[in-house]
Amino acid sequence: MKTAFVTFESQSNRPRGSVGSTRIRCRWLYDMWEDAEDYQIGKKYDALIFQKVYWDKMMEEFKGIKIMDLCDPDWMQGRDVMKYCNMADAVVTSTQALADYIKKFVKGKPVICIADRVKMSEHEPYRKKEHSPTIRKAVWFGYLHNTVYIEAVLRHLAKRGISLTVIADKALCVPDDLDLELKNVGFSYPNVHEEIAKADVAIMPIAGEVDLRGSFKSNNKTLTCWALGVPVVQYPDDFDKLATKESREKYAEEHYQEILDNWTVEKSVQEYKDLIGGIKRKD
């Protein structure tokens, strides 16, 4: 089954490597999948995976297996997501929460979660090997608009004297009265991994506790940190739990093993193969 990913990055004319969802949900998979690749015009495929791509004409005309891959609640931005889900033969989502929501409106076809996972070879060269005696540096990375999920943590950092590095597409500005040592770093890949590994902890509050949109977000940033050996802080009390070098070393070791056991991208490849194979047999 020759399969191609029609990616958000390419259809939006973004620079290669600039869109995290395309890298995580497409490129890492087809790099490990002998019969899959980035979509190329004019080539014949048995299956197409539309990654956040809403392409009416291709959806209508392509005669092979069509899979809609969703990693955001794009209906909140006015997109008629269900129209494209119903045009596809199956729907794949990055989280179970997204899958459960889509199932309310899309019937008679597979709607499953194929989670964001990790390509270990892109993380291992940057993995943190030494942990400092105390927590002095924290890091957060992503699109700047998502810093809404860390706003409540900023004063905790300032109070504890912990500096923050923000790796994003734009610089974060904080209130003048906030005595926080802040460093802004422009996002680039894979340099982001090297910057993350410089930190003692990463701050990743649970987005679903902030707003509805956050409830659909995946844990891919947390997985990145685990793969890089950097402990993740979700609640203010976690700073105390991870205060010592030994506690952070233990955390890093345990969660690195969890990545190896459950979160490598090869699992996602196999899940896609099983899904496509099932659709083929049904036909």
Q: Are 271 and 241 in contact (CB under 8 A)?
A: no
pLDDT category at 93 given cuts 50, 70, 90 is very high
Confidence of residue 22 (pLDDT cuts 50, 70, 90): very high
110 and 179 together in one domain: no
Q: What is the CATH number of the domain that holds 142?
A: 3.40.50.2000
Is 224:204 a contact under the CB 8 Å cutoff? no
Across the chain, the runs of DSSP E, i.e. the strands, are 3-6, 36-38, 47-51, 65-70, 90-93, 111-113, 137-142, 163-168, 182-186, 201-203, 232-233
Spatial separation of the C-alpha atoms in residues 36 and 2, rounded to whole Å: 6
Q: What is the pLDDT of residues 24-71, one digit of tens each?
A: 999 999 999 999 999 999 999 999 999 999 999 999 999 999 999 999
H helix intervals, 68-153:
81-87, 96-103
Domain count of the fold of the chain: 2
pLDDT of amino acid 283: 44
Q: What is the pLDDT of residue 282?
A: 45
Could you tell me if 72 and 113 lie in one domain?
A: yes
pTM: 0.92
Q: What's the pLDDT tens digit per position in 111-124?
A: 999 999 999 999 99
- Same domain (yes/no): 178, 147: yes
Rounded to the nearest 5°, which phi and psi values hold at 166? Answer: -110, 120
Sign of CA dihedral 6, 8, 11, 16: negative
Looking at residue 32, its pLDDT comes to 95
Closest CA to 200 of 260, 159, 252: 252
The 3-state DSSP composition of the chain as helix, strand, coil percent (nearest 5) reads 45, 15, 40
CA distance 227 to 19: 19
Same domain, 133 and 85: no
pLDDT grade, residue 207 (50/70/90)? Answer: confident
Q: State the DSSP string of 49-80.
A: EEES---HHHHHH--SEEEEEE-S-GGGGT--
Return the percentage of the chain with pLDDT > 90, whole number: 88
Let me know whether 113 and 156 are in one domain: no
Range of the domain at 9: 3-117+264-282
Percent of the chain with pLDDT over 70: 98
Phi first, then psi, for residue 222 (nearest 5°) are -60, -45
| Residues 162 and 241 grouped into a single domain | yes
Q: If you average pLDDT over residues 231-253, what whole number do you get?
A: 96
Q: Are residues 86 and 34 in the same domain?
A: yes
**pLDDT at 280 (0 to 100):** 64
**233, 277: one domain:** no
Same domain, 113 and 197: no
State yes or no: cis peptide before 190, omega within 30 of 0. yes
Q: What's the whole-number average pLDDT of the chain?
A: 94
CB atoms within 10 A of CB 179: 12
209 and 88 share one domain = no
Are 79 and 52 in contact, with CB atoms under 8 Å apart?
no
Report d(CA 159, CA 182) in Å as an integer.
Answer: 13
Residue 127 and residue 140 in one domain: yes
Name, in order, each residue with C-beta under 8 angstroms of 159's C-beta and a sequence gap of 6 or more: none
Q: Which H helix or E strand runs over 257?
A: helix 245-262
Same domain, 213 and 87: no
One-letter identity of residue 206:
I
Q: What is the pLDDT of residue 177?
A: 87
Tokens describing residue 42: 């004019």
Angle at 171 between CA 167 and CA 174, to 5 degrees: 105
Say yes or no to pLDDT of 281 above 70.
Answer: no
**Tens digits of per-residue pLDDT, 145-194?**
999 999 989 999 999 999 999 999 999 999 888 999 999 999 988 899 99
Q: What pLDDT is attached to residue 136?
A: 97
